Amino acid sequence: MTLRFICAEIERLRLQIRGQQKETLTLQRSGISTASAELLLARTRASVDALCIRRGQLVRELRIVPLCANDSDVIR
- Predicted confidence at residue 60, as pLDDT, reads 87
pTM of the model: 0.77
Q: 55 and 6 in contact (C-beta within 8 Å)?
A: yes
CA distance 20 to 62: 34
pLDDT one-digit tens code per residue, 4-44: 999 999 999 999 999 999 999 999 999 999 999 999 999 99
38 CB-near residues (< 8 Å, 6+ apart): 24
pLDDT above 60 (res 74): no
Domain boundaries, the chain: 3-62
